[in-house]
């Protein structure tokens, strides 16, 4: 059976447009942060899994770091608990930490692994505890306000930041043709688990792996300005003003901060893209136009 000519031409055009990108990125590492808000329905999850398998097949090494904020929230709700967020971070008491570990290390991680494997890939799920991948320390954030004499230190409970990354397990998996799928849970020197914002983990892993790109999949078209319009390329010099004006807030704060840190530490570029668009990763990697907001490295 032959394809209608128009469709066949579209397919040929897409493949030809992708070719130089496939050549350029072969052997390179792409760190993909898969946000909980981008895991909307089965079709999108399948599309994401297929994109990962295709990348691997054409010789690019995807390393996935996933979130799962909404999924943690819904289990907490079922248990009659609510969360408070400070600067985009979930205040995490001991009970909440158990739920975070169950949801991120268990349900969400294994669902992604399963989707990829069902589409012909070989994914392996990890938390930061496996292979001592993510060493964490307690995160202390400060709040400054005119009525305060000195900045106030806010204790978020079991919330951590990345102290160090040991990429040995990632190298081993990549060499063996596996796709690592990493949940953002770190372990402290005391052996305790820490809940780390997934954007922060993705940024650090991208730095340590000297990734070609850091792709942050979320539920907006990218970074939006005060009028709700997409900012196609971020001028890093404008970020503080955008924060002060309240344009960048909530979950976008850690995303932008980690993207900037990553490109300042050697990652070639970071991209905030709309995970609600089917095959968003392919569109960003393999087309001339790209999608979302680009944060260029030096």
Q: What is the nearest approach in angstroms of ligand ADP to the Cβ of residue 272?
A: 8
Residue spans of alpha helices (H) in the chain = 5-25, 42-57, 69-78, 94-100, 109-118, 168-175, 198-208, 239-244, 252-264, 280-286
Instruction: Please choose which of ligand ADP, ligand X2W, none residue 50 contacts, taking the beta carbon within 5 to 8 angstroms, the exact cut-off set by kind.
Output: none
Nearest alpha-carbon partner for 203 in 230, 182, 220, 232: 182
Instruction: Please choose which of ligand ADP, ligand X2W, none residue 247 contacts, taking the beta carbon within 5 to 8 angstroms, the exact cut-off set by kind.
Output: ligand ADP
Nearest alpha-carbon partner for 258 in 268, 242, 246, 270: 270
Q: What is the nearest approach in angstroms of ligand X2W to the Cβ of residue 37?
A: 6
> 69 among the known binding-site residues?
yes
Counting Cβ atoms within 10 Å, is residue 64 exposed (0-12), middle (13-18) or buried (19+)?
Answer: buried
Instruction: Please choose which of ligand X2W, ligand ADP, none residue 68 contacts, taking the beta carbon within 5 to 8 angstroms, the exact cut-off set by kind.
Output: ligand X2W
C-alpha–C-alpha distance, residues 266 and 203, integer Å: 11
Nearer to ligand ADP, 216 or 282 (CB): 216
Q: Which two tokens stand for residue 188?
A: 């402290």
| 222 counts as binding ligand X2W under rule CB under 6 A | no
Nearer to ligand ADP, 101 or 173 (CB): 101
Nearer to ligand X2W, 93 or 245 (CB): 93
Q: Which residues bind ligand X2W (CB under 6 A)?
A: 35-37, 67-69, 72, 89-90, 100, 159, 184, 195, 197-198, 251
């Amino acid at each position: 059976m032959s394809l209608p000519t128009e469709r066949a031409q579209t397919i040929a055009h897409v493949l030809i447009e992708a070719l130089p990108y496939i050549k350029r990125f072969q052997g390179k590492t792409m760190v993909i942060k898969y946000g909980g808000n981008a895991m909307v329905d089965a079709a999108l999850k399948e599309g994401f899994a297929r994109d990962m398998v295709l990348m691997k097949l054409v010789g690019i090494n995807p390393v996935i770091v996933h979130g799962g904020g909404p999924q943690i929230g819904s289990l907490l709700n079922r248990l009659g608990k609510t969360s408070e967020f400070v600067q985009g971070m979930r205040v995490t008491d001991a009970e909440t930490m158990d739920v975070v570990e169950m949801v991120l290390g268990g349900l969400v991680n294994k669902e992604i692994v399963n989707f990829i494997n069902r589409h012909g890939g070989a994914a392996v799920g990890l938390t930061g505890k496996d292979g001592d991948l993510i060493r964490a320390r307690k995160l202390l954030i400060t709040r400054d306000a005119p009525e305060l004499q000195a900045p106030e230190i806010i204790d978020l409970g079991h919330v951590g930041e990345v102290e160090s990354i040991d990429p040995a397990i990632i190298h081993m998996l990549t060499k063996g043709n596996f796709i690592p799928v990493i949940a953002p849970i770190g372990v402290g020197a005391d052996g305790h688990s820490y809940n780390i914002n997934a954007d922060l983990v993705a940024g650090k892993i991208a730095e340590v792996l000297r990734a070609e790109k850091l792709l942050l999949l979320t539920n907006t078209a990218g970074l939006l300005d005060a009028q709700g319009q997409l900012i196609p390329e971020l001028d890093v010099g404008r970020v503080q003003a955008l924060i002060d004006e309240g344009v960048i807030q909530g979950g976008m704060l850690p995303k932008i901060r980690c993207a900037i840190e990553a490109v300042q530490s050697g990652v070639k570029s970071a991209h905030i893209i709309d995970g609600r668009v089917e095959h968003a990763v392919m569109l960003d990697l393999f087309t001339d136009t790209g999608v979302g907001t680009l944060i260029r490295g030096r």
